[in-house]
Structure 1
Amino acid sequence: MTRRTPAQRDRGASPVELAITMPAILLLLFASIQVAAVFLARSVALNAAQIGVNATRVLDGVDEAEGEAQAREFVAGAGDWLTLGTVEASRGEREVTVTVSGEALSILPGVRFPISQTAHGPVERFTEPAP
């Protein structure tokens, strides 16, 4: 009878351990990629809203429809991180607000991640100098 050393008795243990831990590792990998995709989509939506605000708020600038169009154009050029839903702009007497809504890119089938970002900015106007 031959005696086995501890290294020989553990032979084959690594593939079993890998088979047990690999699903958890893959789940963490896909979850981190999905989180990054959601944050990128939020960033795209916020930047598009800011572009819409900057275009609409200038003195004698464009109207709300042109600001919305510029926001849509930015989203279209930013890649597929955000599937655009709606762009809504409103210009009041003192403030412009643009809201960009849509869905983030999803690597998980059947799971949706709605995104909505809003940007505000003051309308440029002439004011009286302080006495």
Structure 2
Amino acid sequence: MFRRLSTGWCRVVAATRHRVLPGDGERGGNPVELAVALPAILVMLFASIQVAVVFVARSTALNAAQSGVNAERLFDAPAGAGEERAARFLRAAGDWLVDWDEPGPSCVVSDTDVTCTVTGKALSVVPGVSFSVQQTAHGTAERWTEPS
């Protein structure tokens, strides 16, 4: 009796083992699809992060330039007050904008206007990729005028 059950069981196992189910030709397809798609997904992920970093670096440079204009446009502001304020802002802002200190922030002052420019490079998330950033802010210098 034991023998009959084992041979009968083997027939059932053999019959179900060789039966082809829908989608059996696709076995192992998911790892292959993942291996093909993963590099493209990673490139898009790092590219989107790099774009966000560039926008943060531009915002940092613009805020530093505006801070420099606000310091330089004051009535009787000392020479170099704008550059010093912009540099202080950039030191406190972190490393979103790198290489800003080689030329340093520059401010041009006329009798009526103040213009400050900050240049640098965005922090690189992708090795070998560099994005230059330059932002300029403009303001009116405070001065005494004659009443009309």
The alignment's TM-score, normalised by the length of structure 1, stands at 0.91
Cα shift at 1:113? 1.0
Q: Percent identity?
A: 53
Alignment correspondent of 1:66: 81
- Determine which structure has the larger strand proportion and give its number: 1
Alignment correspondent of 2:67: 51
Cα shift at 1:127? 2.4
2:91 is the alignment partner of 1:76:
yes
User: SS of the residue aligned with 2:108?
Assistant: strand
Cα shift at 1:74? 0.5
CA distance in 2, matches of 1:96, 1:113: 27
CA distance in 1, matches of 2:25, 2:129: 45
Alignment correspondent of 2:33: 17
CA distance in 2, matches of 1:62, 1:15: 66
Give every structure 1 segment of 4 or more consecutive aligned residues whose post-TM-superposition deviation is greater than 6 Å.
Answer: none
Cα shift at 1:129? 3.1
CA distance in 2, matches of 1:62, 1:42: 27
User: SS of the residue aligned with 1:35?
Assistant: helix
Are the aligned partners of 1:102 and 1:115 in contact in 2 as well (CA < 8 Å)?
yes
Alignment correspondent of 2:124: 106
Q: 1:89 is matched with which residue: 107, 113, 130? A: 107
Q: What do the CA deviations read for 1:51-82 (whole angstroms, capped 9, x no partner)?
A: 0000000112232x121011011111111100
User: SS of the residue aligned with 1:93?
Assistant: coil
The alignment's TM-score, normalised by the length of structure 2, stands at 0.81
User: SS of the residue aligned with 1:120?
Assistant: strand
Find the structure with the greater CA-based Rg: 2
User: Aligned-pair RMSD on alpha carbons?
Assistant: 1.4
Runs (5+) with no aligned partner, structure 2: 1-14
User: SS of the residue aligned with 1:101?
Assistant: strand
